[in-house]
A and B are shown apart, each in its own frame.
Chain A
Amino acid sequence: MSELGVLFDLILLGTLVWLAWRLLASADLFKAVVLFIAFGLLLALAWARLGAPDVALAEAAIGAGITGALLLVALRRLGPETERMRRHAPTIGQRLSARLLVGIAGAAVALLVARALLGLPAVAPGLAPRVAEDLAQSGVAHPVTAVLLNFRGFDTLLEVGVLVLAVLGIWCLNEAPQLAPAQPDSPVLLGLVRLLLPLLMVAGGYLLWLGAHAPGGAFQGGALLAAAAVLGLLAGFALPRRWSGLPLRLMLAAGLAVFLAVGAAPLLGGGWFLAYPPGAAKTLILLIETLLTGSIAAVLAVAVVGGRPGEAAASYPPLAEPPVGKETS
């Protein structure tokens, strides 16, 4: 790498650490969330610098985009940080000793990990040659997708289980709050949504298709579709009641169900769990990825909404009643 590149890396790392420090220390929580979104976008740049375009795409779409929207919605529901919370410990002695203890623990962790890292060789091929060796049998041409859905499919299966579990937890805890007024009064927002929604859907489908041979795939595509859904939600669109029951639940669980079924099918013939039959890997991976994209989009959108469909509400999430007595022309 050139010297200019190293300089860029140093500036990027410095900015990342500074942003992390500011977002954890700043007095205003709204500012902290905005800084966190900026942190996520710069992190995506760092992944791209380190030769991980798949991770960069996912970080920008999920880590910065969806998490940012989620935190902004949460901030409205949780309220700001009060002065009393900032000075939580009663005495100066307690405050200082807490800082000292956590500081020592943090420094110890840093030292141990740094020592382990410095002991590693600066150049190591890792598992890359083995993945390249077996890539031809995996059914896809992109190594990261091959690892995700074939070589280490078990991880991904469990991860999709975590997605469904998270939705179960969220739905157990709260009912969906109202996210947007029934009729948003901003024509700019509506115009933007009309332009962006189709674009995001096409881009999501494209990323899904691209995953077979280039950076992209179900997670990135699903995140873009979820972004489209969140944008729609903020502009006042909502699922009508007849869609928020069984159809929504089927959509949430489809990815996990089909992944499990495809993984378990070889067991009937005496094969291994998640071992795709020879020759059919490509079709099966494409099937799983397509359904996963839909499920991931649904899960992420539900996560941003942050609650279950209400018993009485006419839509999911509920919309505000239009103001009474104000006739719209």
Chain B
Amino acid sequence: MSVPLLYAAGGVVLFCLGLYAIFLRVHLLRKILAANVMGSGVFMVFIALAARVPGADADPVPHAMVLTGIVVAVCFTALAVALAVRIEELSGHSRLPRKGEEGA
């Protein structure tokens, strides 16, 4: 197993850790953190696959895509935080409403 593939496997592990937490943790900020970890896992697979070029320079196309992805991820985080703050203001809890609870 080559080093780039090792990193790609690490990316898969990160994605699954995030996937597990995004379903099972309740606090909204924790879900946002989990989504960010999932994103980092995907980026790692991309960058790892780009590093398979023989010779010096890696494939620049996935690099540009991940750069775009990082900026979109921070936008997503900011918007998700704004939504969470709004939910907290309306319902008084930093979590999603439960079954049977008034959805505010």
A contact residues vs B (CB 8 Å cutoff) = 1, 5-6, 9-10, 13, 16-17, 20-21, 23-25, 29, 32-33, 36, 39-40, 43, 46-47, 50-52, 54-55, 58-59, 62-63, 66-67, 70-71, 73-75, 77-79, 81, 85-86, 88, 98-99, 102-103, 105-107, 109-110, 113-114, 117-118, 120-128, 131-132, 143-144, 146-148, 151-152, 155-156, 159, 162-163, 165-166, 169-170, 173-174, 219, 296, 299-300, 303-304, 306-307
Contacts and interface: CB of A to CB of B under 8 A. Distances in A.
Interface residues of B, number: 76
Interface string B40-83: 10011101111111100111111111111011111111110111
Interface of A is mostly: helix
B57 to A, nearest CB: 6
B104 interface: no
Interface string B17-54: 11111011111111011101100100111011111111
Contacts of B58: 50-52, 128
Nearest to A152: B64
Given A79-B94, A105-B19, A52 B12 contact: no
B67 A74 contact: no
Given A102-B20, A296-B71, A303-B78, A67 B94 contact: no
Interface of B: 2-10, 12-21, 23-30, 32-34, 36-37, 40, 43-45, 47-54, 57-68, 70-79, 81-86, 88-89, 94-95
B68 A156 contact: yes
A50 B43 CA distance: 12
B59 to A, nearest CB: 4
B2 to A, nearest CB: 4
A55 B30 contact: no
Contacts of A33: 29, 33
Contacts of B88: 77-79
